[in-house]
Amino acid sequence: MKHTALAAAVLGALLGRPALAEVPPPRDVAYPGTLSLEVDATDLSHRIFRVHEDVPVQAGPLTLLYPAWIPGHHSQSGPIDKVAGIEISANGQAIPWERDQGNVYAFHLTVPEDVDRIRVDFEFLSPQNREQGRVVMTPEMLNLQWNTVAFYPAGYYSRRIQVAASVTLPAGWHLATALEEESHNGDSHTFKTIDFENLVDSPIFAGIHFKRIDLDPGAKIPVHLNVFADKAKDLEASDEALKAHRALVQQVYKVYGTQHYDHYDFLLAVTDKMSHIGLEHHRSSENGVNENYFTEWDKSWMSRDLLPHEFNHSWDGKYRRPAGVWTPNFNEVKRDHGLWVYEGQTQYWGFVFAARSGLWSQDHAMDMMARLAATYDKGRPGMVWRNILDTTNDPTMAHRRPKPFRNYQMSEDYYSGGQLIWLAVDAKLRELSHDKHSLDDFTKAFFGVNPGAWDVDTFEFDDIVKTLDGIEKFDWAGFLDDRLKGHVNLSRSMQDQGWQLVYDDKASDAIKASEKRYKGIDFLYSLGFMVGKDGNLHDVLWDSPAFNAGLSPSMTIVAVNGEQFDPDVLKDAVAAAKDDTTPIALLVKSFNQYHTVTIDYHGGLKYPHLVRIKGKKDYLGEVLKAR
């Protein structure tokens, strides 16, 4: 602090300025009164949500919070930087506010005497492009997430604060949400009063092109697929597609046996304009897929584990939640070490339910499993210095920003690493029980409890061990610990499942689909990189032949053995080098400099596949088979 600032602070104190306000901690008591929240979502040209909020208050100090820790994001990601135009008033008089100096999500004010309601007006300036964040408003659709358009009073559990919310949509638009509508007047919709926690858990998709599909006809607890699309024709699902989506619901029920909702709504945006999303909620999920999802059913398969993944979260992640991930409001710090269950087992079920429902063919599922195992086969480069458990810190460390050496830094590996851990648990349960038990039994016993309840039931590591032990006695704590702490190569889970990971020069459908999705050509298991069609290197595997020759993700390959770069030219060169001793020479560009890099690699093209291990039981085939 400079002397002048110090002097001002001392002077301020002498003049009787109030000391810095504290943010009151949340208490489990009812907030007196009901907040009213009105959102005007009609300004599509500016992509602005205009908010008018009425908060019942008492005279004296008050702290308002903007949600920071958004469930499912696993990090402090509330878009406070896009909130503008904040005006707080009562009876037409402005009330001054001050942002907390240590917490940019908290706003302090003093409510004057004789004021029992304050008005909060502001705008949520939603992103204009993807560099600014998720694009949530397009000419055809929007995604309203209540946490982006609401302040709430500090000092209370968010489930103890009641809110009456309403939204005005562009003329003629349809909406879908887990919220129940109380009334509507033209394009303004008012929802039944709900607590703030469940309001935030019940976002809205709205749009001009809409179709609502019953996924469980005749069921007492309905499940609907609410589809919004850029173009009306993209809403049309074939019988095959419908059959697989309906089978998904039944396959999930066969494992869990219960539901933790009174109705469930998949919100699905079929779009190349609005930013994609996969976000779980108790009674709904937000999902985004490319516009060819239904229209090119044969080509869009790779993204079809999305709905199984998000649906599974209603049980794993929403109803049963790692104790550290549960917090009483949206501004308390979350502790993410349980995400290997929350996301890891959900990743497992995303693949498995995709296969069991027919959203994926058995071949697709096997190809995806091979690709998964290959990631850990040579030892994930990063696992020399960090383990799966440590990657649960990644959401708060990295906020999903791109990384220079993702494979060495690792990323949110608790998803794919967690998935392999649960595959190992499944194989061990089958082996110990002589095929009587599997992970299905654990999942049912652990998550499929208390039918109809949709509050939150938290758990710790010991609860998992206890439930596993109840199915088959074993040192489960040691088994899980070995894998979470990196003492066992995770790709071994495939051998435990009866399958061997092998490599040949034929790219599987999964590799081809991922090349399309990530706009790169896969040389990961040969030279050790992904490269764009333009020659830009996306990813270079740590310690791979390419890395050791000096290649880096910032470079561009210009020529291969003297010939202009083209993916096929490089593929031909790698194949030819197999029967040769001459290194592959790459002319690369870095900033404005060109130089030649030689890679002394003669292993040929390599792509992962799974083949059966003779004499070992085919557990994986059983895992993927429809129930």
| Residues at the contact surface with Zn ion, assessed by CB under 5 A | 343, 346
Spatial distance between the Cα atoms of 548 and 426, rounded to a whole number of angstroms = 38
Greatest extent of the chain over all pairs of C-alpha atoms, in Å:
88
CB of 346 to Zn ion, least distance (A): 5
Tokens of 187: 């394009």
CB of 415 to Zn ion, least distance (A): 7
CB of 343 to Zn ion, least distance (A): 5
Considering beta carbons, is residue 72 or 486 the nearer one to Zn ion?
A: 72
- 62, amino acid identity: L
Considering beta carbons, is residue 280 or 441 the nearer one to Zn ion?
A: 280
Between the alpha carbon of residue 505 and those of residues 217, 522, 572, the distances in Å are: 46, 12, 11
Considering beta carbons, is residue 313 or 437 the nearer one to Zn ion?
A: 313
Residue 58, number of CB atoms within 10 A of its CB: 11
Nearest Cα neighbor of 80 from 55, 54, 99, 108 is: 99
Considering beta carbons, is residue 446 or 529 the nearer one to Zn ion?
A: 446
Spatial distance between the Cα atoms of 302 and 293, rounded to a whole number of angstroms = 10
Spatial distance between the Cα atoms of 307 and 313, rounded to a whole number of angstroms = 10
* Three-point CA angle 54, 58, 62, nearest 5°: 80
Considering beta carbons, is residue 343 or 440 the nearer one to Zn ion?
A: 343
Tokens of 102: 């240590």
CB of 224 to Zn ion, least distance (A): 21
Considering beta carbons, is residue 138 or 347 the nearer one to Zn ion?
A: 347
The span from the first CA to the last CA of the chain, in angstroms, equals 67
Tokens of 184: 């509507």
CB of 323 to Zn ion, least distance (A): 18
CB of 310 to Zn ion, least distance (A): 7
CB of 419 to Zn ion, least distance (A): 11
Tokens of 291: 């516009």
Considering beta carbons, is residue 42 or 393 the nearer one to Zn ion?
A: 393
Please enumerate in sequence order all residues whose Cβ is within 8 A of that of 222, keeping only pairs 6 or more positions apart, or say none: 214, 216, 263, 264
Which pairing describes strands 320-322 and 457-459: parallel, antiparallel, or unpaired? parallel
CB of 368 to Zn ion, least distance (A): 16
Q: How far is CA 328 from the centre of its chain?
A: 21
Asked if residues 584 and 599 have their Cβ atoms less than 8 Å apart, the reply is yes
Considering beta carbons, is residue 177 or 346 the nearer one to Zn ion?
A: 346
